[in-house]
Amino acid sequence: MAGPLKMTHTAVDSGRRWRWGVWSAALLLWLAPLIAMRFTTQVQWTAFDFAVFGTMLVVGAGAFDLVTRLSGSLAFRAAAGVALLGAFLLVWINLAVGILGSEDNPANLIYALVFAVGGIGAVLVRFRARGLAGVMLAVAGVQVVVAIASYVLGYEALVLNGGFVAVWLLSAWLFRKALKVSA
């Protein structure tokens, strides 16, 4: 059986297309507020806003770029893409408006637990689909605990937290599907 880094010529070409698409989408997303600022006063970004958003896009697209090199499996790439998109949105929402109160509320730091479990778990399982499926289940569990804790503290964010739980569970399911395809 081939290792996760051994890919066919077709998989390499497909990976290039995925990477090109992701980097292009990142650039378009980064330019969107700049374009919006030309047409409305509702969007008022500073250079700092663009720098932070650009950094987030480079980290997210770079991580996905790496994933496309790890596996030629469409299910694996989709699972990683869903997880990375969920992580991106969790950070973005917290920085933009905050999930628990305003973006300045220190209670939002509780979401660092979600990232810690995901990041440390991914490294421990060596970015392999079987392990990543379990990691994403653990991330979903942590998100549930965060949701319950925030509710107990008086924050109304159950629906949003539930949406993120669904994202992590979808990623776990796709990683499991990647196992079945490669078996």
Q: What is the pLDDT of residue 2?
A: 44
In this structure, the answer to whether residues 120 and 138 fall within a common structural domain is yes
3-class DSSP string for 27-65 = HHHHHHHHHHHHHCCCCCCCHHHHHHHHHHHHHHHHHHH
Contacts of 173 (CB under 8 A, 6+ apart): 79, 133
- Report how far residue 140's alpha carbon sits from residue 172's, in angstroms, rounded to the nearest whole number: 9
In this structure, the answer to whether residues 17 and 85 fall within a common structural domain is no
One-character DSSP codes across 122-157 = HHHTTT-HHHHHHHHHHHHHHHHHHHHHHHHTT---
Count of domains for the chain: 2
In this structure, the answer to whether residues 67 and 77 fall within a common structural domain is no
- Give the SS3 label for residue 90: helix
Q: What is the pLDDT of residue 16?
A: 76
Q: What percent of the chain has pLDDT over 90?
A: 79
In this structure, the answer to whether residues 55 and 98 fall within a common structural domain is no
Beta carbons within 10 angstroms of residue 183's beta carbon:
6
Question: Does the structure show a pLDDT above 90 at 180?
Answer: no
Mean pLDDT over residues 81-85, rounded?
95
Which of 15, 49, 72 terminates a domain? The answer is 72
How confident is the model over 110-125, as pLDDT tens digits? 999 999 999 999 999 9
In this structure, the answer to whether residues 34 and 48 fall within a common structural domain is yes
Q: What is the pLDDT of residue 3?
A: 45
**CA-atom Rg of the chain in angstroms:** 18
In this structure, the answer to whether residues 62 and 89 fall within a common structural domain is no
In this structure, the answer to whether residues 183 and 95 fall within a common structural domain is yes
- Expressed as residue numbers, the domain containing 90 is 73-183
Q: What is the pLDDT of residue 140?
A: 98
